[in-house]
Structures are given as C-alpha cells and as structure tokens.
C-alpha cells in the first residue's frame, strides 16, 4: 500500500556520521501526552538517530508559542489550523506535518445545567480564549446562530472552579484530558464538540518558517520523520510514554495520562491514516470557514494558502485518493455548517421574510448537495427523508420512493462483515443511530453493495440536524481500506491460519498487558499444542495438515471473545492471551476450549486433541517470561498423557 505521509514516503534519508544539529521546538502547553511523540523521539534517541539534538521548550503562558517560531526563538513549533490565519497576517510560517487529524477543543457544561447543545447557550456566560486558536469554538457558536451579543464571553483562566461553582455556564476545554479531571472529582459534564456540528479542524500541526525550509530542507525532512517515528513508538509503548511524561511533569496524574493517551489516539487516528498526513484541499475548506467568520479577507487567505504546506514530494492523485475518503469528505464540513445555519435562519426569519441572505445560502446549499461525491442522507431513526444524487448513483435506485419498496432505513443496506459496523452489532434496546454514535471515528466504518453488486467500504460521519433527524455522510474508502487490511494482515497475521503472528505480539504486548492491568484483570497466557500433529502430516500429507491448522484456528475463534488474542507461535503451537478474574476461571476456560477441540469434527482427519499449558502474567515480569512458564505447563500436560490442561502459577 502506498501510504502518503506528509512528505517523502519512499525517500532514503542519509544521516551522515557527523555532529548532531541543535534545534528547538516550542510546545503549545506544558508536558502532556499531547506531545508524547516528541518526548519519546528525544527520550529514545530517535532524533539523535536522524542527526538532531532537539531542545523541547515548554509553553511560557506570557508568550505566544506560534510567534516564538516566527520570531526565531525556536526552529519548530506546534499550531492548529490557525496557522493559516497567522500566515494570512504575514508571518512566514508553514505546515510540515499534521499530527492531530481532529481538533481537541470543546465546550463543557455541567450535567445538571441542562445545557446540551450550543443552541442552549443564548444568554449564558461562556469562557474561552478569544483568539486565532479558538476558531472551532467561535465557529460552533456562530453556526448555531449565536452572535456576539447573544451570550456573555469571559476570558478563560485555565481553571475549572468557575464551571463547578456556576460562575460560568460553559468553558473551553481539551477533550483529551479535562473531562477526565471533572469525572474524577465527582462532577458530571456535557461535552459540546464542534465536530458534532460539522466543524472539523486540524489539531496539532508541526510548523516551521520559510527560512528554515529554504536554508535547511534536509533538516526539516529529518525532523518530521523522527517525530512521526516518535509517535509510532509512543502508541506502541503507552506505559513507557505515560511514565516519561509523568517524570517530566510530576503534576500530571497517571490515570489522567492514560485517559489522555486513549483520546489522543482517537484524534490522531494512527491505525486509519498515516501519522503526519495533511491536505491542501482540507485547508481550503478551513479557509472558507475563516472567511465566513470574518477572521480574514479572501485575498489574504488565498495568498496564505499558496505554499502553506511544505511537501516537495507530494503525489497529488495519491493524496486525493487517500485523504478525501479517510477524513470523511472535508466538503461535508461546510455542508453540515450550512444545514445548521439554514435551519436556524429558517426558524428565526422565514416567518417574517425570506431574506436575500437566506436565498443565497439556499442556492449554495442546493449546489453543494448536487456536486458532493460523498453519499449524503438526511434521515430519522426510522427512515430517510432525503438523499443526494450520489446515493442514487451508488444504489441504482431512481428515487426515494423506489428505495422504500425494498427498505425502510439506510442501515438495512449495511452488509454483515466482521471488520465493519452492521445491524448484528447493535445492542438490545439501542437504535442504530445510537450504536453508530457510540463508536469512535476510526471504528465508524460500514460496507454497502453498489448497483453492480460490488461491496464498498465507507467511513461514516454523523451529525444531528434537529432533535429527531441526522445527516449522514458516506466516504468511499474501499481501495485504501483494502490496502490497509491487506498490509496489516501481511505484517501482523499468519498467512496460513489468519491468526496473529509473533510480530504482532512483539509490537503490541506492552499495550495488551497494560490495558488488561489497567482494568484490574489478570492476563492469562495459554499455550496450545495439537497432539501428534506430526502423524497427521506423515499420514495425510502437508496439505491436509495445513487444513487442520486452519480449522483448528476457526474452532478456537468461534469459542473465544472478540477482545481475546490468538497467536500462531510456530508449527502446531498457538498462544491465547485473555483477561480473567482468577486462575480458577483460567482453568475453566482452558478446559472448555480443550473439550471443544476434542469434540469438533475435522473433515480431513475426523478428530484431534490438544494439550494446553496455562499461567497468569505477573505484571512485574516481561511477557516472554510468562510465555516460557506457559510452555513449561504445556510440556507438563504433554508429559502427563496429552489432551489435558496443566497450570503453573506465576511467581511474584
């Protein structure tokens, strides 16, 4: 698969044997997991490997961190989508990588306040920083129909007491860490997320100056590559990264950092889109948003857009192929904004008169609906009310009336494939809309069959239109999704059985161990060995032996939970990682699996048995020590006659 990092995928970077170059990066806040990739790139010597000696500068509240880069106090920095506005104001700043694909800024209200949406903030007190960096908040308020005089703005003091005490009704916060702090202190909150209202801006971008790019282009490339590698390391070694941040900023709470790590991963989306990916087209949509808010003039924005992104090796067609679908169709952002704007305008003014402004927006809206490549549907819980031409082109239906002859709801089109969301994954007493809303963005993926009976994969964006209706945008990611699945399968799965392989375990065991430990469960390691498997190969041949291995895995997969991890360890040996409450439960599960294998019918050989070694992981030991102990238990089971389970307790 041709992943498009912001720059230079496929390039060979030559880091010569020379003294490292000293550079500085200005953070936009104090040490948090938000900067884990940068921290780990320094901690693990990744920057040094790329010939860089990086000095990390924490935020000075008295200084503008973006201007620190523009003024030469640091060669590199971090800024959100407002970097476009800074460039429009004449600052020679450029984006060199987009790390956060979504902006973490939200508004929080107290649960008991009844303030559930931005529409409820009319006449209320709202605390946020009124600057270039807060466009997501001002845009959400604006598109909810609230003008400056409709609510009282007060500056944000970066504390939480004012919301708790009721001194303010809503307060700007980072969704990555601050909701956890309220919850831990016993205060329930509502989250008003701009993304839910079609305002989807970039979060943290790596930035530098025109001068740095002109004078040191190779250094810029190496800095970005090293930072991306640092983020990859951070996500694969979460506990180590959390503790590194804790050490650098002792005021951080470890539990809060774990929470932040999970939320950060949702905003960066490393499993869905390569870290560092950015898009000129998406910034053009963001530019239109800034223009509609009156934050800059069209001429200066257009000038700023030119050369905003430093990407000398960009492949335009590949970039569009990848980014358009995976980011949910950036044009959809404007569409949602228009929906909300029009709906609010209709309620306030349509009874009196249809203004010129409303007419212009209606025409713009209709035009946008017709030209959207995404499938867009306005729907209630029970049935859709409107769909754009792309929907009918894909499905082959001529009209909504024809659609209703066979279907009642859009979700009936979702086909049941394991990797995607479908009706079989809807919980009892849960609507399909609720089920979709409960998913994180990178898991809101569905599959539908087109008019030619070919299955497609889509990312699905969802936003409320009113109390009972929703706007859905389907972005086709079929080719990239298949590439992603194929690449992931090759890298982390055994090609014969489809079980995970050793590579997967080596790169993910830290995360698996910590996740189970964090939920106060025991990690059980079971090692399986098919009894007398050599006789199967000798008697029936290796082809039938391979079929036995594949069916063995199928039988186990049908008997274990989705969160359990089955690994082919080698030959006829397999490892199962699962969370349990106790060694008694571990033995019970192992015995159930042994019996399941014993009674299963294998077409090639009729029946087989297996031996199982069981142990529990001690969280103070390395996973390989645990696996060795499971292997010893397996040896004991085989030595005792096979087709049995043996356990060896872990040592503290």
pLDDT of residue 575: 95
Q: Tell me the CATH number at 445.
A: 3.30.450.20
Please, which pLDDT band fits residue 278 given cuts at 50, 70 and 90? confident
Q: What is the DSSP letter of 473?
A: E
Contacts of 14 (CB under 8 A, 6+ apart): none
Beta bridge partner(s), residue 189: 110
**436 & 410 share domain:** yes
Residue 1 pLDDT: 35
Same-domain status, 81 and 139: no
Q: Would 325 be classed as within a structural domain?
A: no
Does residue 591 belong to any structural domain of this protein? yes
Q: Based on the domain organization, do 210 and 176 belong to the same domain?
A: no
- CA pair distance 554, 389, nearest whole angstrom: 42
Quote the CA–CA distance of 524 and 576 in Å, as a whole number. Answer: 8
Query: In the predicted model, is pLDDT for residue 450 greater than 60?
Result: yes
Best CA proximity match to 458, nearest among 441, 435, 471, 437:
441
Q: Is the dihedral of CA 264, 267, 270, 274 positive or negative?
A: negative
pLDDT of residue 359: 52
DSSP string, 250-307: TTS-HHHHHHHHHHHHHHH-TTTS-TB---HHHHHHHHHHHHHTTSS-HHHHHHHHTT
Residue position matching structure tokens 């901690």: 43
Mean pLDDT of 357-374: 54
Inter-residue contact 293 to 194 (CB < 8 Å): no
Q: Give the pLDDT confidence score for residue 467 in this predicted structure.
A: 77
Q: Which DSSP state fits 151? A: S
Total domains, the chain: 4
User: Mapping DSSP to helix (H, G, I), strand (E, B) and coil, where does residue 336 land?
Assistant: helix
Produce one character per residue of 417-450: b if its CB has 16 or more CB atoms within 10 Å, e if not: eeebbbeeebeeeeebbebbeeeebbebbbbbee
* CA dist., res. 577 & res. 596, Å (int): 18
Determine contact, residues 461/472, Cβ cutoff 8 Å.
Answer: yes
Phi/psi region, residue 269 (left: phi>0; alpha: psi -120 to 50; beta: rest), is left
Co-location of 355 and 452 in the same domain = yes
Describe the crossing of helices 238-248 and 254-268 by its angle, rounded to 10 degrees: 120
Q: How confident is the model over 32-39, as a mean pLDDT?
A: 95
d(CA 66, CA 85): 11
**pLDDT range class, residue 608, cuts 50, 70, 90:** very high
Whether 347 and 435 map to the same domain: the answer is: yes
At residue 241, the pLDDT reads 94
Instruction: Provide the pLDDT for residue 553.
Output: 94
Same domain, yes or no: 353 and 440 = yes
Relative orientation angle of helices 280-292 and 331-349, to the nearest 10 degrees: 20
Please check whether residues 69 and 158 belong to one and the same domain: no
Residue owning tokens 């394991």:
418
Does the predicted TM-score (pTM) go above 0.85?
no
**397 in any annotated domain:** yes
Nearest to 464 by CA among 361, 372, 329, 340: 340
96 and 126 fall within a common domain: no
> Given 482, 504, 522, which residue is the final one in a domain?
482
Average per-residue pLDDT for the chain: 81
pLDDT greater than 60 at residue 335:
no
pLDDT band of 411, cuts 50, 70, 90 = confident
**pLDDT for the residue 605:** 84
> Where among 180, 197, 214 does a domain terminate?
197
* Residue 75 CA from chain centroid, whole number: 29
Query: Does some domain include residue 289?
Result: no
The answer to which of 330-344, 382-396, 516-530 has the lowest mean pLDDT is 330-344
Q: What CA–CA distance (Å, rounded) separates 491 from 500?
A: 9
Whether residue 373 is found in the same domain as residue 462: yes
Across 336-350, 389-403, 581-595, the highest mean pLDDT is recorded for: 581-595
| pLDDT for residue 423 | 66
Q: What per-residue confidence (pLDDT) applies to 148?
A: 81
Mean pLDDT of 83-91: 93
Higher-confidence position of 350 and 162: 162
Looking at the structure, tell me whether residues 129 and 30 fall in a common domain. no
Mean pLDDT, rounded, for 553-567: 89
Does residue 652 form part of some domain? no
Per-residue DSSP letter, 195: G
CATH number for the domain spanning 239: value is: 3.40.190.10
Supply the pLDDT for residue 294: 84
611 φ, ψ to 5°?
A: -110, 145
> What's the pLDDT at 544?
87
Average pLDDT over residues 574-589: 93
Give dist(CA 120, CA 117) in Å, integer. Answer: 6
**Residue 219's pLDDT band (cuts 50, 70, 90):** very high
Task: Examine residue 641 and state whether it is found in any structural domain, yes or no.
Answer: yes
What integer pLDDT is reported at residue 595 of this predicted model? 95
pLDDT digits (tens, 9 = 90+) for 250-262: 999 998 999 899 9
Asked whether residue 1 is assigned to any structural domain, the reply reads no
Of 617, 521, 513, nearest to 238 (Cα)? Answer: 513
Q: What's the pLDDT score for residue 314?
A: 45
pLDDT for position 250: 94
pLDDT at position 489, please? 53
Q: In terms of Cα–Cα distance, which of 111, 221, 222 is closest to 164? A: 111
Classify burial at 571, counting beta carbons within 10 Å of its beta carbon; exposed 0-12, middle 13-18, buried 19 or more: exposed
The rounded distance, in Å, linking the Cα atoms of 489 and 421 is 19
Interval 277-304 mean pLDDT: 87
Residue range 517-545: mean pLDDT, rounded: 86
Please give, one letter per residue, the 3-state secondary structure of 487-543.
HHHHHHECCCCCCECHHHHHHHHHHHHHHHHHCCCEEEEEEEEECCHHHHHHHHCHH
Residues 574 and 618 in one domain: yes
Please report, for residues 148, 287, 514, 551, the alpha-carbon distance to residue 290 in angstroms, rounded to integers and kept in the order given. 16, 5, 42, 57
Cα–Cα distances in Å, from 251 out to 41, 184, 324, 440, 554?
22, 15, 40, 29, 48
Local confidence band at 352 (pLDDT 50, 70, 90 cut-offs): very low
Beta bridge partners of 26: 57, 77
Strand order in the sheet with 52-57: 52-57, 21-26, 76-79, 205-209, 93-98
Which letter does DSSP use for residue 235 in this model?
Answer: H
Is pLDDT larger for residue 133 or for residue 29? Answer: 29
For the residues 10-15, what does the mean pLDDT come to?
39
Tokens found for residue 579: 């969370």
pLDDT of residue 487: 47
Query: Is 119 exposed, middle or buried (CB count within 10 Å of its CB: 0-12, 13-18, 19+)?
Result: middle
Looking at 185-268, list the stretches that DSSP marks H as alpha helix, in order from N- to C-terminal side: 210-215, 217-236, 238-248, 254-268
Distance CA 607, CA 590 (A): 18
* Among 132-146, 275-289, 576-590, 594-608, the least confident range: 132-146
Q: Which domain does 32 fall in, by range?
A: 21-101+202-277+305-311
The string of pLDDT tens digits covering residues 96-117 is 999 998 889 999 999 888 888 8
> What is the Cα–Cα distance from 543 to 536, expressed in whole angstroms?
10
Say if residue 468 is in the same domain as residue 586.
no
Q: Give yes or no for a contact between 196 and 139, defined as CB atoms under 8 angstroms apart.
A: no
Task: Tell the residue number behind the tokens 């015995």, with chain if given.
Answer: 591
Answer yes or no: is 324 within a domain. no
Give the residue from 167, 197, 227 where a domain finishes.
Answer: 197
């Amino acid at each position: 698969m041709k992943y498009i990092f912001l720059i230079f995928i496929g390039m060979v970077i030559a880091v010569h044997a020379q003294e490292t170059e000293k550079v500085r990066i200005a953070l936009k806040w104090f040490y948090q997991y938000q900067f884990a990739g940068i921290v780990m790139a320094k901690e693990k010597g990744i920057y040094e490997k790329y010939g860089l000696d990086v000095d990390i500068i924490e935020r000075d509240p008295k200084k503008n961190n973006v201007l620190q880069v523009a003024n030469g106090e640091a060669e590199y920095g971090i800024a959100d989508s407002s970097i476009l506005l800074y460039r429009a104001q004449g600052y020679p700043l450029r984006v060199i990588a987009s790390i956060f694909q979504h902006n973490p800024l939200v508004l929080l209200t107290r649960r008991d306040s009844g303030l559930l949406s931005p529409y409820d903030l009319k006449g209320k007190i709202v605390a946020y920083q009124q600057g270039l960096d807060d466009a997501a908040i001002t845009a959400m308020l604006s598109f909810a129909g609230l003008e400056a005089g409709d609510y009282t703005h007060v500056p944000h003091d970066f504390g939480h007491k004012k919301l708790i005490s009721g001194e303010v009704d809503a307060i700007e916060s980072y969704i990555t860490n601050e909701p956890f702090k309220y919850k831990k202190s016993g205060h329930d909150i509502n989250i008003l997320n701009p993304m839910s209202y079609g305002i989807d801006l970039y979060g943290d971008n790596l930035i530098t100056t025109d001068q740095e790019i002109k004078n040191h282009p190779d250094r810029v490339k190496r800095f970005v590559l090293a930072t991306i590698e640092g983020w990859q390391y951070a996500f694969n070694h979460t506990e180590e990264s959390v503790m590194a941040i804790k050490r650098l900023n002792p005021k951080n709470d470890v539990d809060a950092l774990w929470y932040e790590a999970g939320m950060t991963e949702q905003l960066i989306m490393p499993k869905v889109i390569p870290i560092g990916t950015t898009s000129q087209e998406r910034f053009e949509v963001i530019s239109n948003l800034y223009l509609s808010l009156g934050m800059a003039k069209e001429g200066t924005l257009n000038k700023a857009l030119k050369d905003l992104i430093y990407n000398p090796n960009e492949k335009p067609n590949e970039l569009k192929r990848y980014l358009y679908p995976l980011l949910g169709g950036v044009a959809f952002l404007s569409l949602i904004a228009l929906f909300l704007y029009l709906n609010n305008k209709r309620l306030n003014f349509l009874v009196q008169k249809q203004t010129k402004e409303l007419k212009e927006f209606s025409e713009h809206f209709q035009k946008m609906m017709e030209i959207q490549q995404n499938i867009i549907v306005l729907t209630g819980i029970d049935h859709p009310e409107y769909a754009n031409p792309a929907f009918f082109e894909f499905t082959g239906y001529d009209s909504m009336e024809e659609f209703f002859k066979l279907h009642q709801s859009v979700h009936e089109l979702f086909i049941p494939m394991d990797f995607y969301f479908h009706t079989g994954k809807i919980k009892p007493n849960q609507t399909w809309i609720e089920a979709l809303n409960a998913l994180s963005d990178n898991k809101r993926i569905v599959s539908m069959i087109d008019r030619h009976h070919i299955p497609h994969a889509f990312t699905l964006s969802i936003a409320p239109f009113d109390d009972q209706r929703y706007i859905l945008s389907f972005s086709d990611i079929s080719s990239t999704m298949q590439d992603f699945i194929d690449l992931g399968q090759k890298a982390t799965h055994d090609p014969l059985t489809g079980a995970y392989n050793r590579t997967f375990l080596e790169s993910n065991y830290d995360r698996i161990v910590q996740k189970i430990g964090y939920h106060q469960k025991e990690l059980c390691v079971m090692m399986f060995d098919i009894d007398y498997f050599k006789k199967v190969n000798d008697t029936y041949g290796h082809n039938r032996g391979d079929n036995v291995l594949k069916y063995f895995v199928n039988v186990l997969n049908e008997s274990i939970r989705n969160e359990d991890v089955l690994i082919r360890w080698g030959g006829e040996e397999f490892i199962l990682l699962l969370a349990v409450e106790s060694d008694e439960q571990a033995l019970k599960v192992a015995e159930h699996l042994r019996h399941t294998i014993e009674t299963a019918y294998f077409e090639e050989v009729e029946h087989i048995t297996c031996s199982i070694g069981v142990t529990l992981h001690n969280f103070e030991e390395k996973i390989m020590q645990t696996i060795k102990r499971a292997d010893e238990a397996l040896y004991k089971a085989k030595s005792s006659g096979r087709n049995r389970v043996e356990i060896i307790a872990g040592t503290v």
